[in-house]
């Protein structure tokens, strides 16, 4: 037993006779006990026995336990302990030996596993190091290594510094090294040189470890010979950690042939380019996900897997800062261990200014290994967002690729655009390098990226030749005085400025133009949103400029004459609303991109634009240009031309000199002439042509010389009536849009459109027939909806095997097709509002249909029986049709979820639904011919959630619904013949609507629908009985029973904790409000016009959540006596309660906003608490018998509306200074009113005062103040 207590692993071997030994059973019980007490791991081995027999004590184990239980020396308690131990260990995953593997192999695997688990904690996990999120990564690496294979494999583990490459390599090494004949783990540290002696030293170190003896290596050439000969027949595992150059790889793992079968060589590095050799698999280690990162940080900071509650937000700040980098997470966690919250806050705020050196130094190793061009790009990327500066345009691809290979930069797709991104810690490291160039003076640093630094340099003129880049984003200047941001002269000393990004919509402090002072010799990138001046100075000639972007600026003319800009590739002046003309661009022959989008004053284009031979993209949409160019052009590289929404453009220019155009967009050019172009235009590379909403266009031109067109859009061309036959043979065409045109016929005869996938001709109201589509066999989507003249369908539509979606709503077709179809991929069929359609055709050839709609086909009366066996059908909607019967007999619709036959007035019976077990929604509302009974017997619809039979006027009884136990919503409103209900087995029912069922006399037992949330029996005018089960519906939130004949809702206490709304309006027989103390969360009560109501239960006084109480038109004399507790009551309405004598005490309802006692003709008294309801906004008491409203001061600061019209006994207007915000006062027809309190003169917000029909002689004396 002592051995068990001192062990970390217990291997239990279950054999057939194991349970016959009491000693074995007692030992097993002891093992299980210590497994629960301490970290003892049990490994079961099932030796020629079934593990389930161990778990359940079957077979020989059953015999053994039966024998023990008969033994008088074994008590029942001990026997149960043994059984429990058997059961517990039987569920532990172990090894099953049944003769299919060598026992020695299993023994070796178990030994290796124990060795690995025993040694790993000592090797890898010490007091400052934890392992989190490692298992999935190890699994992915093992898949690549494929340890069972006998071939030689190389694997490179790469990633940024501190991401955990070495840890992964160590885990693999110590887990598997014992399976190899030799192994070695060496570190090729970055500080080590790559000279021949150093390489020889690494070779000696590795060979000595593998051979487990001292190996002499005279030089690295001797090492190459030894490596390739001594290890050739040896199965080895080698880890080369932190490889930095090709020479190290060549010296230590030059070829697969150096190593024996089954060998594995794993190398870790930061530069993935080193791994681009034959037969080298690669595995990139990504930063940890947030969940794993938080766990690793918590283990280091708290020795727990989660942070304490009060440290949670702070912990996430540090986790976000570390960005999933294990090194940073551990360093920060250890640094913060045991510290106070204040210390944590200070450390967080100080991190960016003073990063931890343990993190900074490791990351900087990668930077130090870069060559100068890569260092410059790295610092540019670290300091300036890729959203601000497009580095791909100013740096060559090879420079960028080096940073990607070294895991310093990655390419990500952001909003469908490829961007260069950098880990936040690398970014911060780069910025720290720049800050260290000069800590005191920002003007002596190479890059300025913080607002404070930029403003300091520009305002204090401290710039120097050290500055290479500067960025001032719009985000960083919000809330500042923008006139203090820039100083024109401050740029003069920045002679090495390469990159300038300013997003500042404001004016420049002082006189002068900053571009006059800015040295331009080295400037490569200039992006200045909101540039405040009208033009460039002549002195500014940035010959090395690559990108120029001055969008949203005040520029009227960029420059006059020609400006020599030989390196300029991109020019963007979008949204320069004052720009009149495009300048002479002949001095920028290498321009690739031009953007003048939303330059709404732009009307002139310089002819030099015609000969920009490198131009690839020209965008001038939303401008006022009438003509782009005249005559021939030389634009051999132009790929995209976008002039959409140029409403003054008259004609499409000559495009013959732009043979490589791929995209043309002239959409919404409403002044374009009637013809696109005359004759042939050769555009062999054109892929997209968009002339959407060119309303004058009459015909589609000859497109035969644009054979590679993939997308054509002529939608909204409302004059278009002719289509050139060349459109029929565009073999690459994928998408054709011609909706809202006047075409009568698309084409005649055969077509050759093998790649056409989408055809849209919706709203072509002159289209008569669907053309022959047999030559478009791969079409997937067709839309002919709202083609109101369409009456013929070409039979070729029946054999479009790739068709997935067909829309033909609102057409004049009588028949969709005849006979069989071959539409195996058709999933959606929409034929709504086709009023001539008589029948649904044979759909057996479309077995994969998922959605069918024939809504509002008012002539539709026949349904082909094939609809019954559409096994993939999910939604069937046929409302407002003339069908009498959906189908006969059994159906096979296993996936049908929604069946909608709303308002099919001829439908006689509900079809057999037993073959549609997955139905979730059924709607037969408005099927007025439906028989008296929905269905007979039990119908099993286990997934049904919604059942709607509103307006089924013949329905007498609600069917047996226990076969639909998951029903959540039932609607039987306006079923005027309905008189029987039975609610059984509806545990999930939440909403029950039987409003306007006029024959319904009583609410039956609802106890088997315990989760009801909404009940509506309103307008059940004969309803007079309520089953007491309604009182205990604990989930009930709304109970609506207006316009019924009930006299009493319930007796005694209720359990309606969740009830929020109670509506019994117009229940004319209701005598009293019941006990509501069991509905403490009710928010709205409405007993309006319950004309027999004369008693109010006192429980109404303590409904703390009550917000609205409406009891107008009742017979109550008194609302309540004494104090109330109604802290949330906002609205009190007792209008036309003719027996009400006095207003009760309202001091317990301090949040009342609206009070209405209008028409309470007996009301002559009120409680003075009405004077101090500070939140009160409206007080209506017209037509009452009160003589005096109140005496003395009031506190009604929010009162805006006061109406006492028709109060014939009212003598005087009271003191109103305490209601200073009154806007409307009405005392009209107060025939006894003769006195007006002078406080009325001081109501400054008063807008309307009506005192007509009173006896006052004088309104006020003296002047009045502020009445509007």
Nearest to 978 by CA among 946, 1013, 934: 934
* Topology classification of domain 359-436: Arc Repressor Mutant, subunit A (1.10.10)
Q: How far apart are CA 35 and CA 85, in angstroms?
A: 11
* Topology classification of domain 131-284: Rossmann fold (3.40.50)
Residue 862 pairs with which residues in a beta bridge?
839
Q: How far apart are CA 573 and CA 569, in angstroms?
A: 14
Whether 155 and 280 have beta carbons less than 8 Å apart is answered as: yes
DSSP class of residue 200 equals H
Going from N- to C-terminal start, the domains of the chain cover 2-100, 131-284, 290-351, 359-436, 440-545
Whether 658 and 684 have beta carbons less than 8 Å apart is answered as: no
* pLDDT at 1266 (0 to 100): 45
> What phi and psi, each to the nearest 5 degrees, are found at residue 477?
-110, 0
CATH architecture of 2-100: 3-Layer(aba) Sandwich (3.40)
DSSP class of residue 874 equals -
* pLDDT at 126 (0 to 100): 39
Q: How far apart are CA 302 and CA 291, in angstroms?
A: 16
> What phi and psi, each to the nearest 5 degrees, are found at residue 581?
-140, 155
* pLDDT at 125 (0 to 100): 42
Nearest to 505 by CA among 457, 550, 570: 550
* pLDDT at 1080 (0 to 100): 92
Q: How far apart are CA 352 and CA 333, in angstroms?
A: 16
Tokens representing 772 are 């022959």
Sign of the CA dihedral running 92, 97, 103, 109? negative
Tokens representing 859 are 């002539």
Q: How far apart are CA 1053 and CA 1055, in angstroms?
A: 7
Do 2-100 and 359-436 fold alike per CATH? no
Q: How far apart are CA 298 and CA 330, in angstroms?
A: 9
* pLDDT at 896 (0 to 100): 94
DSSP class of residue 277 equals S
For 754-779, letters b (16+ CB in 10 Å) and e give eebbbbbbbbbeebebbbbbebbbeb
- Show contacts of 1112-1115: CB within 8 Å, 24+ apart: 1112/1088, 1112/1136, 1112/1137, 1112/1156, 1113/1088, 1113/1089, 1113/1137, 1114/1087, 1114/1088, 1114/1089, 1114/1090, 1115/1091, 1115/1139
Mean pLDDT, each 10-residue run in order, the chain (1268 residues): 74 88 87 75 85 86 88 84 87 78 70 60 45 81 88 90 86 84 81 72 88 84 86 91 86 89 91 77 88 86 86 88 84 85 84 77 81 91 82 84 83 68 84 90 92 86 92 58 59 90 62 74 89 82 92 87 91 93 92 95 91 94 90 90 92 86 93 70 90 89 90 93 90 95 87 94 92 93 95 91 96 88 94 93 94 94 91 95 86 93 89 88 88 64 89 78 86 81 81 89 86 93 89 92 90 86 94 89 95 90 93 90 88 93 86 93 83 87 88 81 92 84 92 85 88 84 53
* pLDDT at 114 (0 to 100): 67
Residue 151 CB neighbour total at 10 angstroms: 11
Q: How far apart are CA 1088 and CA 1175, in angstroms?
A: 24
């Amino acid at each position: 037993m002592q051995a068990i207590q001192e062990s970390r692993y217990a291997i239990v071997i279950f054999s057939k006779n194991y349970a016959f030994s009491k000693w074995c059973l007692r030992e097993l019980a002891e093992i299980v006990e210590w497994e629960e007490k301490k970290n003892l791991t049990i490994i079961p081995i099932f030796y020629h026995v079934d593990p389930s027999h161990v778990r359940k004590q079957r077979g020989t184990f059953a015999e053994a336990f039966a024998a023990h239980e008969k033994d008088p020396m074994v008590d029942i308690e001990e026997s149960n302990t043994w059984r429990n131990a058997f059961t517990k260990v039987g569920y532990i995953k172990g090894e099953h030996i049944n003769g299919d593997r060598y026992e020695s192999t299993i023994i070796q695997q178990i030994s290796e596993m124990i060795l690995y688990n025993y040694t790993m904690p000592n090797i890898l996990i010490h007091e400052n190091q934890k392992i989190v999120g490692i298992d999935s990564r190890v699994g992915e690496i093992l898949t690549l290594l494929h340890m069972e294979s006998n071939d030689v494999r190389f694997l490179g583990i790469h990633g940024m510094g501190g991401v955990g490459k070495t840890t992964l390599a160590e885990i693999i090494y110590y887990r598997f090294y014992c399976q190899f004949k030799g192994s070695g783990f060496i570190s090729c540290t970055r500080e080590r040189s790559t000279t021949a002696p150093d390489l020889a030293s690494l070779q000696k170190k590795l060979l000595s470890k593998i051979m487990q003896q001292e190996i002499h290596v005279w030089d690295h050439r001797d090492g190459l010979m030894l490596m390739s000969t001594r290890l050739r027949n040896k199965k080895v595992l080698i880890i080369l950690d932190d490889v930095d150059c090709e020479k190290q790889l060549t010296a230590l793992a030059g070829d697969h042939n150096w190593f024996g079968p089954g060998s594995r060589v794993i190398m870790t590095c930061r530069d993935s380019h080193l791994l681009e050799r034959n037969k080298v698999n690669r595995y990139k280690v990504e930063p940890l996900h947030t969940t794993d990162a938080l766990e690793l940080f918590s283990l280091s900071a708290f020795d727990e897997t989660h942070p304490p509650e009060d440290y949670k937000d702070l912990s996430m700040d540090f986790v976000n800062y570390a960005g999933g980098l294990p090194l940073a997470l551990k360093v920060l966690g250890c640094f913060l261990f045991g510290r106070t919250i204040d210390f944590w806050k200070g450390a967080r705020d100080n991190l960016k200014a003073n990063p931890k050196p343990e993190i900074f130094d490791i990351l900087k190793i990668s930077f130090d290994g870069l060559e100068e061009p890569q260092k410059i790009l790295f610092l540019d990327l670290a300091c300036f967002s890729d959203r601000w500066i497009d580095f791909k345009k100013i740096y060559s691809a090879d420079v960028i690729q080096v940073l990607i290979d070294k895991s310093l930069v990655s390419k990500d797709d952001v909003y469908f655009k490829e961007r260069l991104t950098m880990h936040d810690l690398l970014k911060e490291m780069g910025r720290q390098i720049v800050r260290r160039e000069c800590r005191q003076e920002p003007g002596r640093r190479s890059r300025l990226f913080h607002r404070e630094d930029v403003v300091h340099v520009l305002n204090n003129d401290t710039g120097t030749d050290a500055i290479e880049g500067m960025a001032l984003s719009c985000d960083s200047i919000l809330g500042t005085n923008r006139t203090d941001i820039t100083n024109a002269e401050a740029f003069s000393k920045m002679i090495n400025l390469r990159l300038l990004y300013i997003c500042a919509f404001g004016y420049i402090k002082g006189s002068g133009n900053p571009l006059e002072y800015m040295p331009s010799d080295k400037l490569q990138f200039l992006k200045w949103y909101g540039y405040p001046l009208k033009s460039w100075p002549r002195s500014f000639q940035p010959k090395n400029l690559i990108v120029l972007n001055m969008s949203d600026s005040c520029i009227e003319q960029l420059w006059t004459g020609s400006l020599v800009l030989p390196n300029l590739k991109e020019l963007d002046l979008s949204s320069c609303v004052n720009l009149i003309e495009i300048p002479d661009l002949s001095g920028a022959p290498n321009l690739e991109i031009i953007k003048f989008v939303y330059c709404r004053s732009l009307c002139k284009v310089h002819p030099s634009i015609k000969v920009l031979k490198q131009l690839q993209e020209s965008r001038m949409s939303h401008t006022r240009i009438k003509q782009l160019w005249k005559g021939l052009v030389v634009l051999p590289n132009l790929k995209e031309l976008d002039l959409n929404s140029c409403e003054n453009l008259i004609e499409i220019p000559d495009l013959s000199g732009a043979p490589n155009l791929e995209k043309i967009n002239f959409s919404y050019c409403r002044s374009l002439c009637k013809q696109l172009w005359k004759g042939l235009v050769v555009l062999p590379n054109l892929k997209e042509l968009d002339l959407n909403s060119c309303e004058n266009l009459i015909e589609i031109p000859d497109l035969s010389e644009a054979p590679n067109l993939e997308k054509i859009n002529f939608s909204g061309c409302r004059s278009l009536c002719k289509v050139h036959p060349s459109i029929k043979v565009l073999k690459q065409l994928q998408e054709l849009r011609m909706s809202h045109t006047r075409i009568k016929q698309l084409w005649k005869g055969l077509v050759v459109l093998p790649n056409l996938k989408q055809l849209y001709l919706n709203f072509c109201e002159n289209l008569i027939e669907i053309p022959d589509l047999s030559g478009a066999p791969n079409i997937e989507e067709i839309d002919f909806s709202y083609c109101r003249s369409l009456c013929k369908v070409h039979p070729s539509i029946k054999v479009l095997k790739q068709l997935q979606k067909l829309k033909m709503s609102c057409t004049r077709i009588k028949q969709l097709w005849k006979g069989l179809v071959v539409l195996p991929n058709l999933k959606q069929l929409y034929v709504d509002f086709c009023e001539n359609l008589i029948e649904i055709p044979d759909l057996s050839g479309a077995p994969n249909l998922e959605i069918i709609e024939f809504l509002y086909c008012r002539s539709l009366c026949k349904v082909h029986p094939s609809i019954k066996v559409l096994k993939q059908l999910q939604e069937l909607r046929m409302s407002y049709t003339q069908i009498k019967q959906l189908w006969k007999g059994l159906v096979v619709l296993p996936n049908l979820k929604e069946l909608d036959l709303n308002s099919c007035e001829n439908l006689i019976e509900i079809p057999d639904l037993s073959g549609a077990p997955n139905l979730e929604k059924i709607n037969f509302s408005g099927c007025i011919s439906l028989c008296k009974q929905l269905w007979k017997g039990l119908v099993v619809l286990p997934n049904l959630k919604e059942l709607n039979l509103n307006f089924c006027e013949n329905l007498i009884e609600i069917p047996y619904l226990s076969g639909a136990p998951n029903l959540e919503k039932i609607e039987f409103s306006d079923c005027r013949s309905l008189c029987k209900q039975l609610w059984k087995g509806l545990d999930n029912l939440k909403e029950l609507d039987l409003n306007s069922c006029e024959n319904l006399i009583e609410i039956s037992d609802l106890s088997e629908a315990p989760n009801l949330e909404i009940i509506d029996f309103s307008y059940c005018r004969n309803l007079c009985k309520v089953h007491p089960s309604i009182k205990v519906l604990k989930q009930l939130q709304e109970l609506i029973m207006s316009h019924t004949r009930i006299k009493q809702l319930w007796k005694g206490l209720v359990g309606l904790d969740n009830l929020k709304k109670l509506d019994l309006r117009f229940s004319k027989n209701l005598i009293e409000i019941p006990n509501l103390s069991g509905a403490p969360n009710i928010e709205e009560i409405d007993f309006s016009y319950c004309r027999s109501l004369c008693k109010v239960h006192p429980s109404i006084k303590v409904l703390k959540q009550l917000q609205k109480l409406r009891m107008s038109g009742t017979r109550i004399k008194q609302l309540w006596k004494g104090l109330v507790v109604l802290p949330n009551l906002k609205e009190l309405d007792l209008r036309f309660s003719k027996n009400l004598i006095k207003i009760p005490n309202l001091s317990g309802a301090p949040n009342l906003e609206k009070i209405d006692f209008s028409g309470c003709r007996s009301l002559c008294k009120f409680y003075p608490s009405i004077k101090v309801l500070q939140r009160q906004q409206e007080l209506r008491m017209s037509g009452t018998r009160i003589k005096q409203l109140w005496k003395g001061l009031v506190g009604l600061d929010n009162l805006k509306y006061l109406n006492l019209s028709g109060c014939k006994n009212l003598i005087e207007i009271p003191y109103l200074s305490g209601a200073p915000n009154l806007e409307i006062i009405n005392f009209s027809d107060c025939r006894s009113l003769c006195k007006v309190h002078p406080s009325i003169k001081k109501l400054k917000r008063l807008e309307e005062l009506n005192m007509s029909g009173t006896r006052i002689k004088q309104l006020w004396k003296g002047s009045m103040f502020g009445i509007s």
